[in-house]
Amino acid sequence: MTLGRRAALGLVLASPALAQGVEDWPNRPIRLIVAFAAGGAADTAARTCGQKMAEILGQSVIIENRTGGNAVIAANATLQSPRDGYTFLVDAANQLTNPPLMKDLSFDYRTAFVPVSQFCLFPQVIAVKRDFPARTIQEFIAIAREKPNSISYGTPPAAGMAHLAGEVFQRRAGIRLVHTPYRGGADAARDIAAGVLDAVLITTSSIRPPVQAGQARILAVTSLQRVPTLPDVPTLAESGFPGYDMNDWNGVFAAAGTPLPIIEKLASAIAKATADPGVRQRMDAAGAIMVGNRPAEFRAWLATQREICEQVIREAGITLG
């Protein structure tokens, strides 16, 4: 028997086992490695959706938080795990921003990971402190144009999605603000409540406490559509910046080489979980808009966002420092 015939026979004999491994997936617990700390937005999404996914799939979904290295530690842990459909990564904008920000990465995000599905979007807001004179985003822009580099605004963190959203807004509005990075949205919210900052660009959930206390006002949201929990707040897209759509977000990724049928099955489970009324009710409180898209849709969305993020980082000279 020739080597070619042996290889072909071996493939035929192996294929039933491989097919069975896909067909009976999952037959043991699934691990989601979350690149962010417990209690944060991504962790909340992973745990809330993971619980429903476990019901749908009939197997436990284990959440493992691996923080540090600008989410690279979690990415490496996923890549070093068996690619058998039982370990996945929960990541966010780091998939798009790390390549232009970190020159010593040992892998290429675009080829190392396969998008599975997006858990949710976290719309962001532009808000001002209580005594700031602007009542609308147009008035805010007018003041900023009259006094360039005099209005402070905070985002979490440096080189994060809020920072990038702020740079895009400034460029399109023709204004220059003074940027102050924070470790988290709660820290920026605290300082706008205290009047230390003029403005912030943070998520809807982070701004809620100072707004409810009458210490801040929301002028606009950064999502393409109005946020259901803030129906009276206009979007930047409808306020003179058509197409503006810069949200925080998170989603699930598989290491390249994970069987595609398993990726499709997991995406289906995520779609069902994100559509569940109980999941949506809980995530509404966190200011999230549930997505649950298919791998191809997620991949196309990432491609568009990647181009925007890389251009902003390059042109604005944004760094991690």
Question: For 59, phi and psi rounded to 5 degrees?
Answer: -140, 155
Domain boundaries, the chain: 29-121+248-316, 124-221
CATH of the domain spanning 124-221? 3.40.190.10
HSE-CB for 300 with a 13 A CA cutoff: 4
Q: For 51-164, where are the E strands, in sequence order? A: 61-65, 87-91, 113-122, 124-129, 152-155
**Average per-residue pLDDT in the chain?**
92
pTM above threshold 0.85: yes
Higher pLDDT among residues 253 and 39, named by residue = 253
pLDDT of residue 19: 56
Residues in the chain: 321
- pLDDT tens for residues 208-244? 999 999 999 999 999 999 998 899 999 999 999 999 9
Q: Are 231 and 63 in contact (CB under 8 A)?
A: no
pLDDT(12) > 60: no
Please identify which residue in the block is written with the tokens 């990971």.
113
Give the pair of three-digit tokens for residue 200.
Answer: 């912030």
Classify residue 243 as exposed, middle or buried by CB count within 10 Å of its CB (0-12, 13-18, 19+): exposed
CATH classification number, 29-121+248-316, choose in 3.40.50.620, 3.40.190.150, 2.60.130.10, 2.40.50.140: 3.40.190.150
Assign 207 to helix, strand or coil.
helix
Residues above pLDDT 70, as percent of the chain = 93
Task: Give the mean model confidence (pLDDT) for residues 81-105.
Answer: 96
pLDDT(71) > 70: yes
Same fold across 29-121+248-316 and 124-221: yes
Task: Give the mean model confidence (pLDDT) for residues 18-43.
Answer: 88
128 falls in which pLDDT band (50, 70, 90)? very high
pLDDT of residue 9: 45
First to last CA, the chain: 62
Question: For 191, phi and psi rounded to 5 degrees?
Answer: -75, -30
pLDDT(11) > 60: no
